[in-house]
Structures are given as structure tokens and as C-alpha cells.
Amino acid sequence: MNTARYSEFSRRQFVRSAGVGLAALAFQPIFPRVFASSRAPSSPDPRVLVIIHLQGGHDGLNTCVPFQDDRYYRARPTLALGREDLIRIDDTWALNRAGKPFEALFKDGKMAVVPDASYPQPSDSHYRASEIWHTASAADEVLYSGWVGRCFSHLQAQGRAVRGLYASPARPRIFVREEDRTARANVAAAGGDICGSLNAAGSAPLDALAEIGERAGASADTEIYFVAVPGFDTHARQLETQSARLHALSRALQLFQQRIEQRSIADRVLTMAFSEFGRSATENAQGGTDHGGGSPVFLVGKNVRGGFTPGGNSASHDFKQILRPIVTDWLGVPVQAVFARDPGRVELLRVFAQT
């Protein structure tokens, strides 16, 4: 059962009432590159996309904290973070101090956050929710191919060299192409010779980012990397577990960004981190939270529109609106090659595809 649906209020209500749109405007004097209005020149091809799946359901509410909202503290009498545990961003939002490396990325305008990403009629099942995110399907449909797999197919048909590399126990569903249906029955083995496992796949998951930092952009291929990071299903002992996971993630992303900038390829690299769903606004009796609501999506790179994405009338976004500019603007794949219908878009990037 999705406990957030039946509690007095949900995480989505927290995010909405926190006034994401006002928060975004408040970023401007602090972080001058936020929501730059001018179009930057497109990055040179080929481009690199790094996708990180935070498996288990990441708690965004204790990552991007509405520290002025009393309901946050009432809902989480033991899990709410104290002021000493926060890095204040503006008058509305603060970051969990465990994720301190994010602060530098924010200040440099290299990190964008969509605080509440989900889709209509979300699933509480880890498997099904992950499948929906990987295939970009609706809640009531099942698709065989992954949205990246459909990008692969289009790029290959255009004669562009592509490469998919992953750090996960098996080839991820997100990489599966429609043509793999007839080639092989086993989804885990599908993908053909365009996909392969990273050398660091058997190490600590975030070690893969160090490997990607060294090898990304070394070929003439369009490269897409996938990293699965388990451990975000915090039903119990959430404070300790989430703090450790968040620190490891933020530090790994910071070091990765630094490395690709040292290698002078940062203009060509975009990183996205997501989770299949978020956590309930209220804590449970085990010192944790249950499945529920949307989760934040992080985008990191020199070409993102840094800061919190404004929500307009609603702070929630369908995750396909986040994927849309990544597919069309970053990878140069037309919307109809990936989506059955145009999902609309959230303006997240400062570069635009030339195709």
C-alpha cells in the first residue's frame, strides 16, 4: 500500500507548499548562472550520457529539506533534520549536510534538481516502478524496449556509432532495443555487441563513476553509461543509512565532474540520477519511511540549467517530461522515435540539438 496516499499529507504536498517557483527565483542572486536565458552553443558531438539509478526509493524530503515548514517536523519527529544538519540554500530550501559536495555543484550552476518526479497512478512495486522508468511507459502499459534502447536504434539507423556500458548485475532493461525481441529471448542478455559491462561492475557501485570519468569521451561513439546503486529502501534506520548513501553519491558525482573537467570533455557529458519512487512524508515506527510519492531527479553538467526547477501550478512533473529534453536536445533523437506521444518538457538544458 502506498502510505503517502492515505496520510494526512504527502511529500508532494510538502514540495508544492514549499513554493518551488519562488525558491527558483530566490536562487538567482545566490547562484548567478541559474536559469540562464541565453542559449549556449551546442556541445560538440559525440555526446555522453551517464544514468544513475538509486535503487530502492530515495527519500528526497531529507535531501532537499523544506526547513521552514512545521509540518516537516511534525511528520518526522525523529527523522527531521536539525538546523545544524542543514546547508541553507535560500529562505525555503536547505540541503542535507551529508550531501555537502552538492553545494559546490549548485553554486557553480552545474546541478539541477526536479524535486518531485513521478507519473499518473504510480506503482509501489520496486520491479514495476523501475520497469516504468526504464521503458518510459505509462502505468497501464508494458513496453519491451527501454527508452535508451530506442535511442540506440534510431542513432544506429542514422549511421551513428553508439556504445552502452553498464555497472549492474545484468544488462539493464533501459538498454534493451525492440529488435532484441527477435534476436534473443533473455532480456538480461539482449542488446547485441553495442552494450557491455564496465570493469568496475563487480566493485562498489559508485566506483564505476571513477572508471567512467577516465574512459568517457575517448571514442567517437555516442556513449551512454548506466550505474545501479542499491541501498535506498530505507524502511528502518533511515538517518544513518540515507546519510551514508547521500554522502557517497554526492562525493562521487563531485569527483566525477572534476575529473571530466580536467580532461576537457565536460561540455560533452551529462549525468542524471533518479529513483523509481520516493518515500512517505511521515515516518514509521522503525525509524524509517515507506514507499510513496515522487522522488527528486538530479542533473549534473556544465550545460544544465542549475537550481531547483520551478513547478508552476504544481511542483510535480511526469518523469517523461524530464527525459524529453535529454532525448531530443542532448542525444539528438526525435521525440517520435522514443515516445508514443510528445509528453511535453521541462526546460533543463542550456544546449540544443543541431539535428
**Per-residue confidence (pLDDT) for residue 211, from 0 to 100:** 96
Tell me whether residue 342 is in a domain. Answer: no
Instruction: Characterize the bridge pairing of strands 195-197 and 111-118.
Output: unpaired
pLDDT exceeds 50 at position 38: no
Tell me whether residue 214 is in a domain. Answer: yes
Which tens digits make up the pLDDT trace of 327-338?
999 999 999 999
Rounded Cα–Cα distance for residues 99 and 102 (Å): 6
Tell me whether residue 202 is in a domain. Answer: yes
**Per-residue confidence (pLDDT) for residue 30, from 0 to 100:** 33
Residue 46: is the preceding peptide bond cis (ω within 30°)?
yes
Separation in Å, CA 4 to CA 124, 279, 282, 289:
11, 8, 8, 10
Instruction: Characterize the bridge pairing of strands 269-274 and 295-300.
Output: antiparallel
Tell me whether residue 176 is in a domain. Answer: yes
Domain count, the chain: 1
Tell me whether residue 219 is in a domain. Answer: yes
Amino acid identity, position 290: D
**Per-residue confidence (pLDDT) for residue 23, from 0 to 100:** 34
Domain containing residue 266: CATH number = 3.40.720.10
Which tens digits make up the pLDDT trace of 284-311?
999 999 998 889 999 999 999 988 875 4
Which tens digits make up the pLDDT trace of 202-261?
778 889 999 999 999 998 999 999 999 999 999 999 999 999 999 999 999 999 999 999
pTM of the full structure: 0.86
CA-based nearest residue to 152, from 138, 129, 171: 171
Residues 223, 217 contacting (CB under 8 angstroms): yes
The total of other beta-carbon atoms located within 10 Å of residue 272's CB is 21
Tell me whether residue 173 is in a domain. Answer: yes
DSSP for 86-113 reads EEE-SSS-EEEGGGTHHHHHHHTT-EEE
Which tens digits make up the pLDDT trace of 91-135?
787 889 999 999 999 899 999 999 889 999 999 999 999 999 999
Rounded Cα–Cα distance for residues 178 and 185 (Å): 11
The total of other beta-carbon atoms located within 10 Å of residue 56's CB is 22
Amino acid identity, position 37: S
Rounded Cα–Cα distance for residues 218 and 7 (Å): 50
Rounded Cα–Cα distance for residues 78 and 151 (Å): 44
Tell me whether residue 354 is in a domain. Answer: no
Tell me whether residue 344 is in a domain. Answer: no
Expressed as residue numbers, the domain containing 247 is 3-37+46-337
